[in-house]
Amino acid sequence: MLKTDLRKKYIQKRKALSVDEALLLSEKIRESFLNYFKPLAGEKIHIFTPIEKFREINTQSFIEAFLVAGIRVFVPKVVGDHLISVEIFPNTEFETSSWGISEPVSNEDSGEYHFDYVITPLLYCDQNGNRVGYGKGFYDGFFQSISAASKKIGVNYFNPDEKIDDVWEHDIPMDYLVTPTEVLSFFSGVE
């Protein structure tokens, strides 16, 4: 299927989830992530904050668990036409952007480019790790600016059942996909 068709299909599938279903599936994804990757204190995780009206994976419980465990947490913030990475702490102040995203008030880019994990929003991911996002290209640009050793991990409510037919040469695939029922590895690098 083409990205535009997959985008429409999976936006509709998300809308069909109740708030309670989305929260339950988000918790299953969080548990799968923690059990599979076992992140450690001092590691660096870049993780998105969800757009609630789009029923994105609720990552608030991920963030809370990471901070309690002493993991360094970074979140994206759109500044101008690109994504910066802001390190957050338990007392970080947030505000809601015009896109409905909870972002740190600070515009200070951490300058960090090596993350142990980059937990990435997506609408769909296929069996090859190719992702469909909202089509703005923020994450493709972000992926080009970080260390290739950073593990790119997509999270999704749905398993990869369809192939993306219009993958572009500049698309950067995920290394892993975490769903409520499984963790798939597309990672071809040396661990």
Beta strands in the chain (DSSP E): 44-47, 72-79, 82-88, 94-96, 102-104, 117-120, 124-125, 131-132, 151-155, 176-178, 183-185
The dihedral through the CA atoms of 61, 63, 64, 65 has a sign that is positive
Residue numbering of the annotated binding site for substrate: 56
The parts of the chain modelled with pLDDT lower than 70 are 187-191
pLDDT at 138: 82
Q: What is the pTM (predicted TM-score) of this model?
A: 0.93
Q: What is the CATH superfamily name and number for domain 3-185? A: NagB/RpiA/CoA transferase-like (3.40.50.10420)
pLDDT at 187: 66
pLDDT at 188: 58
CB 156 within 8 A of CB 179: yes
Residue numbering of the annotated binding site: 3-7, 56, 131-139
pLDDT at 191: 46
Residue numbering of the annotated binding site for ATP: 3-7, 131-139
